[in-house]
């Protein structure tokens, strides 16, 4: 565990950039960036293109440690290089803490939720993450309805895997997303909060986690989680809100910082000049930073 990185994530001012679109979401992310499916053939070329996009973001002067605490990477990005360095090393040299997405996607919906698919190679992935100097991990489930047994199953699974990650000397970001379009979102969030608190209270003093949650319907609904001694930081996903909408909702929640993906990259395009690209990224970074740091 890198103590200076731990301190930055726990106490630093800024937000975490999510650059971890994978598999099924990659063609969509590329299309939004202006790289259409007919401009590449096959998965290898697709991942080359997405790495070019991520490299352009990460190497931009706008992508700086002054505003960005950490970045979440896709597994392939961890194994690739930026300007002759492994991605995590490049980020660390910039003062940005590297995280790795470790889940394998979502299972089919059952009991109003989608659990994570089994992560068969988790131990090997965690070993490689340590080798590549990754600080922490991220894994996502989704809650669609306020189904108590479904939400309990999501949180149980997240913490079960989370403890294995802690035992590998990495910090897990536990991400039970609540679908922002679901009915009774607020009720789901109440059940979720109570289930998470039960698990947090069972952790020992040397077991620490981060949480990544949808911005709650009721402002400061997650105050108890943010203040819990076992929680290093609570970060928020944009969840499909526009950047402006996500930022406005984020500002209402004390202590909650952003970990946005689409809301970060929405105005970036492959056809922009360097000046246009850096200006668009700087504008996004500045507004997300402001919403994370300056509260209403």
Catalytic: which of 8, 75, 104, 175?
Answer: 175
288 and 264 Cβ atoms separated by less than 8 Å: yes
d(CA 278, CA 70): 19
Please, which residues have CB within 8 angstroms of residue 105's CB and are 6 or more apart in sequence?
22, 23, 24, 116, 117
266 and 284 Cβ atoms separated by less than 8 Å: yes
Catalytic: which of 101, 104, 185, 212?
Answer: 212
d(CA 255, CA 235): 9
Active site residue 274: no
Strand runs labelled E in the chain: 15-19, 68-73, 81-82, 85-86, 97-101, 113-114, 136-143, 171-178, 209-214, 231-237, 257-258
Active site residue 212: yes
Residues serving a catalytic function are 175, 212
């Amino acid at each position: 565990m890198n103590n200076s990185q731990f301190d930055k994530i726990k106490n630093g001012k800024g937000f975490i950039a999510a650059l971890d679109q994978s598999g099924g979401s990659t063609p969509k992310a590329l299309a939004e960036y202006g790289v259409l499916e007919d401009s590449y053939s096959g998965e290898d070329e697709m991942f080359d293109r997405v790495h070019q996009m991520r490299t352009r973001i990460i190497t931009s002067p706008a992508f700086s440690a002054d505003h960005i605490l950490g970045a979440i990477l896709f597994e392939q990005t961890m194994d690739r290089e930026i300007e002759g360095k492994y991605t995590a090393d490049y980020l660390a040299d910039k003062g940005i803490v590297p995280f790795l997405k470790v889940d394998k996607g979502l299972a089919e919906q059952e009991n109003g939720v989608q659990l994570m698919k089994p992560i068969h190679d988790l131990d090997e992935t965690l070993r490689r993450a340590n080798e590549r100097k990754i600080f922490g991990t991220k894994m996502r489930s989704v809650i669609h309805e306020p189904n108590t047994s479904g939400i309990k199953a999501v949180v149980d699974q997240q913490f079960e895997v989370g403890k294995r990650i802690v035992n590998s000397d990495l910090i897990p970001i536990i991400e039970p997303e609540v679908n922002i379009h679901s009915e009774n979102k607020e009720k789901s969030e109440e059940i979720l909060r109570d289930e998470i608190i039960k698990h947090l209270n069972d952790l020992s003093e040397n077991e620490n986690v981060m949480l990544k949650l949808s911005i709650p319907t009721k402002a400061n609904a997650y105050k108890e989680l943010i203040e819990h001694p076992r929680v290093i930081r609570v970060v928020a996903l944009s969840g499909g809100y526009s950047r402006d909408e996500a930022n406005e909702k984020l500002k209402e929640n004390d202590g909650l910082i952003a970990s946005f993906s689409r809301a970060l990259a929405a105005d970036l395009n492959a056809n922009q000049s360097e000046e246009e690209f850096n200006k668009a990224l700087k504008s996004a970074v500045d507004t997300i930073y402001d919403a994370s740091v300056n509260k209403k």
